[in-house]
Amino acid sequence: MLQVVTPYGRQGPSSRVRVFDWLDRTAISTAVSSYVSHHNSSPRYLARHPLAVLEAERRLRGMATDRSHPLLLHREASPLSRGALERRLLSRAEFTAYDFDDALQWDTGSGPLYRRWAPKAPKATIGARYADRVIAGNAVLAEWASGLNRDVVVIPSCVAPDSYRQKTDYELAAPPRLGWVGSAGNEVYLLLVASALRELHRRTGARLTLLGTTSPSLGELETIVDRIPWSEATQHDLLADFDVGIAPVPDGPYTRGKSGYKLLQYGAAGLPTVGSPVGVNSEILDQFGMPAPETGDEWVDAVLELLEQPISRRAARGRAAHDVVRQHYSFEAWSARWTDAVGVGGG
């Protein structure tokens, strides 16, 4: 039996993609601790559920004494821990693996007191140092982890292409429909290309659909924004209705460690895509054959290029991106390597 520790429940994007989606696709016997099984571990939510928090802490300490099963730890065991709990879990006699898909090593806890009390960076360092194996979401993370652990493997954050409705009609909507999918915390990245989006609206009438939160947060940009609440089923179905998917990202240490998952979702749906060439995004966009603009003017030109192409060309590029995802970023393509990496495969 594989014991699995993750800080969020199935609704937490990272835990869903890196843990629950894998467990759904394997026949491995597992015991999963997902802390309080919420989509995040905000202080407000934890304060409202003290009994659940106490039970989670008790359960984790019990798991730290069980040396009879392999353990997979994703990101951190507890948002309240400062690293000692993670070290106890990963110092067990049985095989242990530490999995991460964000640049947690640079999350040093700036900001509110609760973030300074239990920053993620020390826990990521402990995870990389004390696990028998580290599973990194991309090469940037793997390079850092290799300075602390001799056994580091890269397994990207995978998607299931067959779960997405693939785009078949590449005729532009009227007006053209740009699309973005993501969480509230990342919406601010859209402001990086706000002037480009307004210029595209001025030239083509294009509007931006956000598949995520319904609370306005983008100031003047909201005049060209339409919002759809996120659900797993909705994202699988609606991405194909967009004309162009966008993925702006600022260039910094933390964002260079991101997994490029948004681009992979767009590719799974066969959607023409424009994204910032930051971290693994550069490699994915190159594989897709999609534009990777840096400046605002380049963003305008890149999106216009896709919108103004013949339908047949736009369709060919979308289908090529879908093929890349299926061959290089699908659960099927990585299944054997994942089971080996967590210590339950036959390799």
Q: Please give the pLDDT value at position 27.
A: 85
* Dist CA 249 CA 98 (whole Å): 26
Q: Please give the pLDDT value at position 111.
A: 65
Domain identity same for 27 and 67:
yes
pLDDT in tens, 315-337: 999 999 999 999 999 999 999 99
* Dist CA 233 CA 35 (whole Å): 24
Assign 3-state DSSP to the chain and report helix, strand, coil percentages, each to 5: 50, 15, 35
> How many independent structural domains does the chain possess?
2
Q: Which two tokens stand for residue 7?
A: 């800080």
* Dist CA 290 CA 273 (whole Å): 6
* Dist CA 111 CA 313 (whole Å): 47
pTM for the full predicted model: 0.93
Domain identity same for 50 and 152:
yes
Q: Please give the pLDDT value at position 115.
A: 67
State percent of the chain over pLDDT 70: 98
Q: Classify residue 254: in a domain, yes or no.
A: yes
Q: Classify residue 113: in a domain, yes or no.
A: yes
Q: Please give the pLDDT value at position 39.
A: 86
* Dist CA 66 CA 327 (whole Å): 38
Q: Classify residue 346: in a domain, yes or no.
A: no
Centre a 10 Å sphere on the Cβ of residue 293 and count the other Cβ atoms it contains. 21
pLDDT in tens, 160-185: 999 999 999 999 999 999 999 998 88
Domain identity same for 150 and 195:
no
Q: Please give the pLDDT value at position 282.
A: 96
DSSP labels, 63-106: HTT--SS-EEEES-S-TT--SHHHHHHHTSSS-EEEEE-S-GGG
Q: Average per-residue pLDDT in the chain? A: 93
* DSSP classification of residue 159: B
pLDDT in tens, 180-194: 999 888 999 999 999
Residues 6 or more apart whose Cβ sits within 8 Å of residue 91: 130
Domain identity same for 168 and 204:
yes
Q: Classify residue 347: in a domain, yes or no.
A: no
Q: For 138-153, what is the mean pLDDT?
A: 97
35, 10 in Cβ contact below 8 A?
no
Q: Please give the pLDDT value at position 11.
A: 87
Domain identity same for 259 and 324:
yes
Q: Specify the CATH number for the domain of residue 97.
A: 3.40.50
pLDDT in tens, 219-271: 999 999 999 998 889 999 999 999 999 999 999 988 999 999 999 999 999 99
Domain identity same for 255 and 128:
no
Domain that holds residue 213: 161-328
Q: Please give the pLDDT value at position 144.
A: 97
Mapped onto helix, strand or coil, the DSSP state of residue 119 is coil
Helix (H) or strand (E) holding 226, with range, is strand 225-229
Q: Classify residue 35: in a domain, yes or no.
A: yes
- With 80 as the cut, is the pLDDT of residue 13 above it? yes
